[in-house]
A and B are shown apart, each in its own frame.
Chain A
Amino acid sequence: MKKSLIILFLFLIISSKVWAHKISIFAYVEGNYIQGQVYFNDGSPAKLAKVTLLPARGHKILGETKTDKEGNFKLLIPKGVEGKVRVVALAEMGHRAEINLSLKPEAKGPQKGEPSFPGAQDFMAPPAQTENPASAGVLLNKEELKALIHQEVEKEVAPIREILEQLVKQLQKPSFSEIFGGIGYIFGFFGILAWAYSKRK
C-alpha cells in the first residue's frame, strides 16, 4: 500500500501542476458593455461557454452571449437595465459560475448633464459653463471633457485590471496548504471513526 501510494504520488507530481476543477468568471462594466472572461481555474479559457445576464433576483434573462476562443465575452447591457445584476456562465458538463455586478444608471444625455457622483459638479462645471470661449485657448464642453477623462482613466486602469484579473485567478487555485489541510481533515475524520469503533468493542 505504501509503495503503491508512492507510485501514485510520483504520477501526480509528474503530471505536474495542481489544478482546480470548476469554472470562474471575471467581469466588469465598461460603457454599455459588460466585459469579462470565463476560465477554468488552471487559467485555461472556457471556450464557447454560455454567458447570461440576469437580475440579482429572479430568472428573467436580460442578455445572452457566448465566450470566444480566448474565453472572453462582451455583453451589451440592454437599455433600462440598472442596479444589481448577476452574470452567469455555463460551460458544458455542468460547470457554472456567477458574478454579481452593480450597474450604474445609464449615462445621461447632454441635455441633462447631471453629474453621476457628488462633487463632480464643482470639478467639471467651470469649463462647461464658461460663456466666453475666447478667454482660454482650448475649451471643451462638459461632455467632451467627460469622454476624454473616461478615455484616459480607462487607459491608466487597464494594467491594473489585468493584474487584478491575474490575482483573482491565482486566488482561486487551490493552494498547497488547502490541499494538505484537506488530507489532514480526511485522516482526522477517519481517525475519529476508528476511535469510535475501538470504543464500541
Chain B
Amino acid sequence: MHISEGVLSAPVLLAGALGTGIGTFLGLRCLTSEKVPQVALLSAAFFVASLVHVPLGPSSVHLILNGLVGILLGWMTFPALLVGLFLQAILFQFGGLTTLGVNTFNMAFPGVVVYYLFKPLIKSPRLSVVGAFCAGAFAVLLAGIFVALELALTGESFQASAKLILMAHLPIMVIEGFITVLIVGFLKKVRPEILFPEEKP
C-alpha cells in the first residue's frame, strides 16, 4: 500500500500532497487538547500495524487499520497517519518523502469516508457489528482503489493493477473488518465516550 518513490508522475504526487495538506488542516482544526493522547495512541498503533505482513501470492500485504483510526478520529485521521507514515518513510523507507502526500491521502481519506458512512451504523445498537466490519473492510478497499487509480494515471493499466490489488487485499479486508468489530465492540461496551465523544455525559 505504500507507493515507492519514483513510481508516480509529478502531477499525481502534487495532487496527493495537496489533498493531504487540506485533510491535515481540517484535522488539526478539530483536534482538541483532550483528543491529543488518543490521536497519538492511534498513530502509534497504525505505525506498528503496517509492519505486520502476510505473504500473499506474488506480493505481501499488511494491516492498515485506517478504518479503525478513521472511525475513531474522523478528520483527525490525516494528522495521525501523516505522522505514522512520515516515520515509516524515514525509518524503514516504506514509501518515501516525495510520496508521503499521496500515501497519506490514500490511507487517511478512506478513513474519513468510513467515518461518515458507517459511524451512524455503529451507533445503532443492532447493526453495530455490521457497521464496524464494513468500516474496516471498506477503508482498505477504498485505499486499494486509490492506489490502482494513481498507478493507472501513471501508465499502468487500471484493470490489471486494480484486479491484483483487490485480490491481494481481500483477506486483509476481512481481517481488518474483524479487528475493527472487535475493538469497536469492546470500546462501545467499556468506554462509549471514546467512540461517541459528542454524547459525553
Residue interface bits B34-77, CB-to-A below 8 A is 1, else 0: 00111111011101111111110011101000000000000000
Q: How far is the CB of A99 from chain B (nearest CB, A)?
A: 13
A33 within 8 Å of B by Cβ? no
Q: Judge whether B88 and A96 touch: CB under 8 Å.
A: no
Bound complex: CA A66 to CA B49 (Å): 31
Size of chain A's interface in residues, with CB distance under 8 A? 49
Size of chain B's interface in residues, with CB distance under 8 A? 57
Bound complex: CA A12 to CA B65 (Å): 12
Q: How far is the CB of B155 from chain A (nearest CB, A)?
A: 11
- Counting chain A CB atoms within 10 Å of each CB, which of B1, B44, B54 scores highest? B44
Q: How far is the CB of A3 from chain B (nearest CB, A)?
A: 7
Q: How far is the CB of A77 from chain B (nearest CB, A)?
A: 22
- Give B156-181 interface residues, CB cut-off 8 Å to A: 161, 164-165, 168, 179
Given the known interface contacts A12-B48, A47-B58, A48-B58, the answer about A22 and B92 at a Cβ–Cβ threshold of 8 Å is yes
Chain B residues with Cβ below 8 Å from A153 are: none
Closest residue of chain B to A192 (Cβ to Cβ) is: B36
B124 within 8 Å of A by Cβ? no
Stretch at the interface among B4-12, B18-26, B115-123, B127-135: B4-12
Chain B residues with Cβ below 8 Å from A47 are: 58
Bound complex: CA A77 to CA B38 (Å): 54
Closest residue of chain A to B39 (Cβ to Cβ) is: A190
Q: Judge whether A190 and B186 touch: CB under 8 Å.
A: no
Q: How far is the CB of B60 from chain A (nearest CB, A)?
A: 5
Point out the residue from A95, A182, A197 that lies within 8 Å of B4, measured CB to CB. A95
Q: Judge whether B48 and A198 touch: CB under 8 Å.
A: no
B binding-site residues for A, Cβ under 8 Å: 1-8, 31-33, 36-41, 43-45, 47-55, 58-60, 62, 83-84, 87-88, 91-95, 147, 150-151, 161, 164-165, 168, 179, 182-183, 186-187, 190-191, 194
8 A-B contact pairs sorted by A residue (CB < 8 Å): A21-B92, A91-B59, A93-B168, A95-B3, A182-B47, A190-B36, A190-B39, A197-B36
